[in-house]
Amino acid sequence: MSPRVVPSVPSAPRVAASAASPKPTGPARAALSLGVVALLAYGLAFALDAGGAVAFWFLGLVTGVLAVVFGAVGAGRARRAGGPGRGMSVAGLVCGVVGLVGGLAVLVVGFVLAVEEEDAGGGATHEYHAQASSGAASGPHAAPR
């Protein structure tokens, strides 16, 4: 038996994979990454106590602002370059904006809770001082009659 010879057929020239599917630019990747970190930070800020919430709120604020900036830069570059990374830039921009809105929500909720706590504790103190100034004080520090 003799070996069978298959005639070679010329194939189409190979194109590099990077030329076939353009990769997103650096700002697009940074925007999406920072936007996701901002969302996670604000989610953790809602879930943790006051000390941890402040740390994650600050982290979310910084990463949210950076995500918006990098998203805008990446979208501009993608528009000029013909499209690579535009979707990723817009997604990072949206995540950054949602993260900033979440940060404002954490700030408002924290402020409201702090004011309510101060009113609950401060209200009784104000009543005590008002009674003491009128001479009708009662309580552990009131002078006996």
Q: Specify the pLDDT at position 33.
A: 93
**Per-chain mean pLDDT for the chain:** 76
| Angle between the N-to-C axes of helices 50-81 and 86-134, in degrees from 0 to 180, rounded to the nearest 10 | 150
What tens digit of pLDDT does each residue of 33-75 get? 999 999 888 888 777 776 777 788 888 889 999 999 999 999 8
133-144: per-residue pLDDT in tens? 555 555 555 555
Higher per-residue pLDDT: 32 or 145: 32
Contacts of 122 (CB under 8 A, 6+ apart): none
Task: Quote the percentage of the chain above a pLDDT of 70.
Answer: 65
Does the global pTM surpass 0.75? no
Element (H, E) at 21: none
Q: Band the pLDDT of 129: cuts 50, 70, 90.
A: low
